[in-house]
Amino acid sequence: MTVLKRLLYSPAGMVGLILLGLLILAALCAPLLFPGDPLAIAGPPLILPFTDPALPLGTDRLGRNVLAGLFYGARASLAVGLAVAAVSIVAGALIGTIAGFSGGLTDEALMRVVEAFQTVPGFLLALAFVSVSGASLPVVILAIALGAWTGPARLARAEVLSIRERDYVAAARVIGMHPAEIALREVLPNALPPVLALAAVIVGNAVLIESALSFLGLGDPNIVTWGSMIAEGRNVLRSAPFLSIVPGLGLIITVLGIYLLAEGLTDALATRKARP
Protein backbone atom coordinates (compact mmCIF):
# COMPACT_ATOMS: atom_id res chain seq x y z
CA MET A 1 0.00 0.00 0.00
CA THR A 2 1.42 3.38 -1.01
CA VAL A 3 1.90 6.31 1.36
CA LEU A 4 -0.99 8.16 -0.35
CA LYS A 5 -3.39 5.27 0.22
CA ARG A 6 -2.37 5.00 3.86
CA LEU A 7 -2.86 8.76 4.18
CA LEU A 8 -6.38 8.47 2.77
CA TYR A 9 -7.19 5.72 5.28
CA SER A 10 -6.05 7.98 8.14
CA PRO A 11 -8.97 10.06 9.53
CA ALA A 12 -6.67 12.95 10.51
CA GLY A 13 -4.84 12.86 7.19
CA MET A 14 -8.07 12.72 5.21
CA VAL A 15 -9.61 15.68 7.05
CA GLY A 16 -6.39 17.67 6.71
CA LEU A 17 -6.18 16.85 3.00
CA ILE A 18 -9.76 18.03 2.44
CA LEU A 19 -9.29 21.25 4.39
CA LEU A 20 -6.05 22.14 2.62
CA GLY A 21 -7.52 21.12 -0.72
CA LEU A 22 -10.38 23.59 -0.22
CA LEU A 23 -7.91 26.27 0.86
CA ILE A 24 -5.72 25.75 -2.21
CA LEU A 25 -8.80 25.75 -4.45
CA ALA A 26 -9.96 29.04 -2.92
CA ALA A 27 -6.50 30.57 -3.41
CA LEU A 28 -6.31 29.48 -7.04
CA CYS A 29 -9.85 30.59 -7.86
CA ALA A 30 -9.59 34.02 -6.18
CA PRO A 31 -8.59 35.95 -9.35
CA LEU A 32 -11.28 34.14 -11.37
CA LEU A 33 -14.13 34.64 -8.92
CA PHE A 34 -13.12 38.14 -7.85
CA PRO A 35 -11.23 39.87 -10.67
CA GLY A 36 -9.78 43.25 -9.91
CA ASP A 37 -8.43 44.71 -6.72
CA PRO A 38 -9.80 43.01 -3.56
CA LEU A 39 -9.14 46.28 -1.70
CA ALA A 40 -11.51 48.21 -3.99
CA ILE A 41 -14.88 49.45 -2.76
CA ALA A 42 -17.58 46.90 -3.64
CA GLY A 43 -20.67 48.40 -2.00
CA PRO A 44 -22.02 50.29 1.00
CA PRO A 45 -20.10 49.80 4.25
CA LEU A 46 -21.01 47.21 6.86
CA ILE A 47 -23.48 45.12 4.86
CA LEU A 48 -24.38 42.12 7.02
CA PRO A 49 -23.63 38.60 5.76
CA PHE A 50 -26.31 36.80 3.69
CA THR A 51 -28.35 39.97 3.12
CA ASP A 52 -27.05 40.80 -0.37
CA PRO A 53 -26.62 37.98 -2.95
CA ALA A 54 -23.84 39.92 -4.66
CA LEU A 55 -21.92 40.20 -1.37
CA PRO A 56 -22.57 36.93 0.50
CA LEU A 57 -20.35 37.72 3.49
CA GLY A 58 -21.08 41.44 3.49
CA THR A 59 -18.66 44.36 3.46
CA ASP A 60 -16.25 45.96 5.91
CA ARG A 61 -16.20 49.55 7.21
CA LEU A 62 -14.96 50.84 3.85
CA GLY A 63 -17.34 48.80 1.74
CA ARG A 64 -14.85 46.15 0.63
CA ASN A 65 -16.03 42.63 -0.20
CA VAL A 66 -15.34 40.35 2.80
CA LEU A 67 -15.60 37.15 0.73
CA ALA A 68 -13.07 38.45 -1.80
CA GLY A 69 -10.75 39.35 1.07
CA LEU A 70 -11.16 35.86 2.52
CA PHE A 71 -10.16 34.23 -0.79
CA TYR A 72 -7.20 36.55 -1.39
CA GLY A 73 -6.14 36.13 2.24
CA ALA A 74 -5.83 32.41 1.57
CA ARG A 75 -3.39 33.21 -1.25
CA ALA A 76 -1.30 35.38 1.05
CA SER A 77 -1.23 32.78 3.83
CA LEU A 78 -0.23 29.96 1.49
CA ALA A 79 2.42 32.08 -0.22
CA VAL A 80 4.01 33.13 3.06
CA GLY A 81 3.83 29.68 4.64
CA LEU A 82 5.30 27.79 1.68
CA ALA A 83 7.98 30.41 1.01
CA VAL A 84 9.09 30.46 4.65
CA ALA A 85 9.21 26.65 4.73
CA ALA A 86 11.30 26.53 1.55
CA VAL A 87 13.78 29.17 2.72
CA SER A 88 14.06 27.70 6.22
CA ILE A 89 14.56 24.11 5.11
CA VAL A 90 17.09 24.96 2.39
CA ALA A 91 19.12 27.25 4.67
CA GLY A 92 18.83 25.00 7.72
CA ALA A 93 19.69 21.81 5.83
CA LEU A 94 22.77 23.39 4.24
CA ILE A 95 24.06 24.89 7.49
CA GLY A 96 23.34 21.69 9.42
CA THR A 97 25.10 19.58 6.80
CA ILE A 98 28.17 21.84 6.79
CA ALA A 99 28.32 21.80 10.60
CA GLY A 100 27.84 18.06 10.99
CA PHE A 101 30.14 17.03 8.14
CA SER A 102 32.95 19.47 8.94
CA GLY A 103 33.05 19.02 12.70
CA GLY A 104 35.62 20.79 14.86
CA LEU A 105 35.65 24.57 15.06
CA THR A 106 33.26 24.97 12.10
CA ASP A 107 30.65 22.85 13.85
CA GLU A 108 31.10 24.71 17.13
CA ALA A 109 30.87 28.15 15.48
CA LEU A 110 27.75 27.31 13.45
CA MET A 111 25.99 25.70 16.42
CA ARG A 112 26.66 28.77 18.56
CA VAL A 113 25.02 30.89 15.85
CA VAL A 114 22.03 28.52 15.85
CA GLU A 115 21.75 28.77 19.63
CA ALA A 116 21.96 32.57 19.45
CA PHE A 117 18.98 32.68 17.07
CA GLN A 118 17.06 30.18 19.21
CA THR A 119 17.33 32.37 22.30
CA VAL A 120 15.01 34.93 20.67
CA PRO A 121 11.38 33.89 20.08
CA GLY A 122 10.54 33.72 16.38
CA PHE A 123 7.72 36.26 16.60
CA LEU A 124 9.86 38.84 18.40
CA LEU A 125 12.66 38.36 15.88
CA ALA A 126 10.26 38.83 12.98
CA LEU A 127 8.68 41.83 14.69
CA ALA A 128 12.03 43.55 15.15
CA PHE A 129 13.22 42.77 11.62
CA VAL A 130 10.04 44.05 9.94
CA SER A 131 10.00 47.15 12.14
CA VAL A 132 13.51 48.04 10.97
CA SER A 133 13.32 46.91 7.32
CA GLY A 134 9.78 47.99 6.44
CA ALA A 135 6.64 46.03 5.68
CA SER A 136 6.56 44.14 2.41
CA LEU A 137 5.85 40.51 1.53
CA PRO A 138 9.50 39.51 0.84
CA VAL A 139 10.63 41.20 4.05
CA VAL A 140 7.91 39.41 6.06
CA ILE A 141 8.94 36.05 4.56
CA LEU A 142 12.60 36.65 5.36
CA ALA A 143 11.78 37.90 8.85
CA ILE A 144 9.78 34.77 9.71
CA ALA A 145 12.42 32.50 8.14
CA LEU A 146 15.09 34.05 10.40
CA GLY A 147 13.45 32.35 13.37
CA ALA A 148 12.45 29.13 11.60
CA TRP A 149 15.69 27.81 10.07
CA THR A 150 17.27 26.70 13.35
CA GLY A 151 15.08 23.60 13.76
CA PRO A 152 15.98 22.16 10.34
CA ALA A 153 19.64 23.04 10.96
CA ARG A 154 19.84 21.11 14.23
CA LEU A 155 17.96 18.12 12.82
CA ALA A 156 20.11 18.03 9.67
CA ARG A 157 23.27 18.17 11.77
CA ALA A 158 22.09 15.26 13.92
CA GLU A 159 21.37 13.17 10.83
CA VAL A 160 24.69 14.05 9.20
CA LEU A 161 26.65 13.07 12.31
CA SER A 162 25.41 9.49 11.91
CA ILE A 163 25.50 9.37 8.12
CA ARG A 164 29.07 10.62 7.74
CA GLU A 165 30.44 7.44 9.35
CA ARG A 166 28.69 5.03 6.98
CA ASP A 167 30.49 2.84 4.47
CA TYR A 168 29.39 4.63 1.29
CA VAL A 169 30.74 7.94 2.65
CA ALA A 170 34.07 6.28 3.46
CA ALA A 171 34.11 4.79 -0.06
CA ALA A 172 33.54 8.23 -1.55
CA ARG A 173 36.54 9.55 0.39
CA VAL A 174 38.69 6.64 -0.81
CA ILE A 175 37.97 7.32 -4.48
CA GLY A 176 39.03 10.94 -4.01
CA MET A 177 35.74 12.85 -4.05
CA HIS A 178 35.98 16.42 -2.76
CA PRO A 179 34.55 16.86 0.77
CA ALA A 180 32.01 19.43 -0.49
CA GLU A 181 30.85 17.00 -3.19
CA ILE A 182 30.51 14.20 -0.64
CA ALA A 183 28.51 16.45 1.69
CA LEU A 184 26.12 17.72 -0.99
CA ARG A 185 25.75 14.62 -3.17
CA GLU A 186 26.09 11.72 -0.75
CA VAL A 187 25.22 13.00 2.73
CA LEU A 188 22.64 15.77 2.31
CA PRO A 189 20.11 13.79 0.21
CA ASN A 190 20.02 11.07 2.89
CA ALA A 191 19.72 13.56 5.74
CA LEU A 192 16.92 15.55 4.09
CA PRO A 193 13.78 13.34 4.61
CA PRO A 194 13.58 13.86 8.42
CA VAL A 195 14.16 17.58 7.88
CA LEU A 196 11.28 17.77 5.39
CA ALA A 197 8.99 16.40 8.09
CA LEU A 198 9.31 19.81 9.82
CA ALA A 199 7.74 21.57 6.84
CA ALA A 200 4.18 21.35 8.17
CA VAL A 201 5.15 22.82 11.54
CA ILE A 202 7.06 25.63 9.84
CA VAL A 203 4.17 26.44 7.49
CA GLY A 204 1.66 26.51 10.35
CA ASN A 205 3.84 28.75 12.50
CA ALA A 206 4.58 31.04 9.55
CA VAL A 207 0.86 31.52 8.85
CA LEU A 208 0.24 32.45 12.49
CA ILE A 209 3.21 34.83 12.71
CA GLU A 210 2.30 36.56 9.43
CA SER A 211 -1.26 37.04 10.68
CA ALA A 212 0.02 38.46 13.96
CA LEU A 213 2.31 40.91 12.13
CA SER A 214 -0.54 41.99 9.86
CA PHE A 215 -2.81 42.40 12.88
CA LEU A 216 -0.25 44.79 14.35
CA GLY A 217 -0.06 46.76 11.09
CA LEU A 218 3.33 45.37 10.07
CA GLY A 219 2.18 43.30 7.12
CA ASP A 220 2.31 44.29 3.47
CA PRO A 221 -0.33 47.05 3.11
CA ASN A 222 -0.78 46.33 -0.60
CA ILE A 223 -2.23 42.84 -0.16
CA VAL A 224 -5.19 41.42 1.74
CA THR A 225 -4.28 39.19 4.68
CA TRP A 226 -6.43 37.57 7.32
CA GLY A 227 -4.51 39.34 10.06
CA SER A 228 -5.27 42.75 8.58
CA MET A 229 -8.94 41.78 8.18
CA ILE A 230 -9.14 40.77 11.85
CA ALA A 231 -7.47 44.05 12.83
CA GLU A 232 -9.96 46.00 10.70
CA GLY A 233 -12.87 44.22 12.35
CA ARG A 234 -11.77 44.86 15.92
CA ASN A 235 -12.78 48.52 15.61
CA VAL A 236 -16.43 47.50 15.14
CA LEU A 237 -16.33 44.26 17.09
CA ARG A 238 -19.58 44.94 18.94
CA SER A 239 -21.66 46.03 15.97
CA ALA A 240 -20.11 43.85 13.23
CA PRO A 241 -18.29 40.89 14.84
CA PHE A 242 -18.37 38.93 11.56
CA LEU A 243 -15.55 41.10 10.21
CA SER A 244 -13.14 39.45 12.66
CA ILE A 245 -14.87 36.07 12.98
CA VAL A 246 -14.77 35.21 9.26
CA PRO A 247 -11.00 35.64 8.72
CA GLY A 248 -10.37 34.15 12.16
CA LEU A 249 -12.19 30.97 11.11
CA GLY A 250 -10.13 30.90 7.91
CA LEU A 251 -6.96 31.09 9.97
CA ILE A 252 -8.09 28.32 12.33
CA ILE A 253 -9.11 26.01 9.47
CA THR A 254 -5.79 26.57 7.69
CA VAL A 255 -3.59 25.78 10.69
CA LEU A 256 -5.81 22.85 11.70
CA GLY A 257 -5.65 21.40 8.19
CA ILE A 258 -1.86 21.70 8.08
CA TYR A 259 -1.36 19.93 11.40
CA LEU A 260 -3.90 17.19 10.64
CA LEU A 261 -2.25 16.50 7.29
CA ALA A 262 1.17 16.40 8.97
CA GLU A 263 -0.15 13.93 11.56
CA GLY A 264 -1.62 11.75 8.83
CA LEU A 265 1.63 11.77 6.87
CA THR A 266 3.60 10.87 9.99
CA ASP A 267 1.32 7.91 10.67
CA ALA A 268 1.50 6.78 7.03
CA LEU A 269 5.29 6.93 6.95
CA ALA A 270 5.59 5.20 10.32
CA THR A 271 3.34 2.38 9.08
CA ARG A 272 5.49 1.99 6.01
CA LYS A 273 8.68 1.74 8.06
CA ALA A 274 7.09 -0.74 10.45
CA ARG A 275 6.27 -3.20 7.66
CA PRO A 276 8.81 -6.01 7.34
CATH number for the domain spanning 267: value is 1.10.3720.10
Kindly state whether residue 13 falls inside one of the protein's structural domains.
yes
pTM of the model: 0.88
Kindly state whether residue 206 falls inside one of the protein's structural domains.
yes
Kindly state whether residue 267 falls inside one of the protein's structural domains.
yes
What is the pLDDT, as a whole number, of residue 276? 44
Kindly state whether residue 144 falls inside one of the protein's structural domains.
yes
Do 39 and 219 touch, CB atoms closer than 8 A?
no
pLDDT in tens, 124-170: 999 999 999 888 899 999 999 999 999 999 999 999 988 888 888 88
Kindly state whether residue 117 falls inside one of the protein's structural domains.
yes
Kindly state whether residue 84 falls inside one of the protein's structural domains.
yes
Kindly state whether residue 52 falls inside one of the protein's structural domains.
no
Q: What domain count does the chain have?
A: 1
Q: Which residue range forms the structural domain that includes residue 184?
A: 3-47+57-240+248-274
pLDDT in tens, 221-249: 889 999 999 998 988 888 899 999 999 99
pLDDT in tens, 176-197: 888 888 888 888 888 888 888 8
- The torsion angles phi and psi of 134, rounded to 5 degrees, stand at 100, 155
Kindly state whether residue 146 falls inside one of the protein's structural domains.
yes
